[in-house]
Amino acid sequence: MDGMEAYGQNAALQFRLMTLNDIPDVMIIEYEAFTMPWTEEAFRNELTNNHFAKYMVMELDGTAIGYAGMWTIMDEAHITNIAVRQAYRGRKLGEKLLDELMKTAAYLGMERMTLEVRVSNLVAQRLYEKKGFESAGLRKGYYSDNQEDAMIMWANLPPAGRSGEEEGSVTDS
């Protein structure tokens, strides 16, 4: 039984902060996912020098199968990357990764989240729209590999923590 057959039964899907030791695994994901992959040095710089950067790894049974990153500036989070190993796509794991990134951003006090996505990447656009992102314009010629435009998308993040309205919650009155 491979990891995906186990997924949903008793496989352990976990999210954790990315470390320098994760870079080799992240590079495999990066090359599978992007026509213009980041370099190892770019990730090393993000993890060691960029105090605005927050990166996480998604693991299935201890194996890195996805990662996501964002910059948190003031009350806004800017998604830099989000990717899942090719063999694990189409199973809503990208959605789980985005959910975790959005929860983390809200927990850190971010109120809004933004990203750029290729205008041709309709699968990603549908996922982002499902999660509350709306188009806010285009960046013409944003992608240097083919001068493709990027759609700018924004979403409001729900406040982190309990609202006090969930069943079983305790509120002061």
Active-site option among 40, 116, 142, 148: 116
Active-site option among 55, 67, 88, 128: 128
H helices of the chain, in order, are: 3-6, 23-33, 40-48, 93-107, 122-130
Phi, psi of 96 (to 5 degrees): -65, -40
User: How many angstroms separate the CA atoms of 150 and 140, rounded?
Assistant: 7
Give the list of residues 6+ apart from residue 125 with CB closer than 8 angstroms, or none. 117, 151, 153
In the annotation, is 116 catalytic? yes
In the annotation, is 67 catalytic? no
Residue 147 · residue 155 · CB < 8 Å: no
Q: Catalytic residue positions?
A: 116, 128
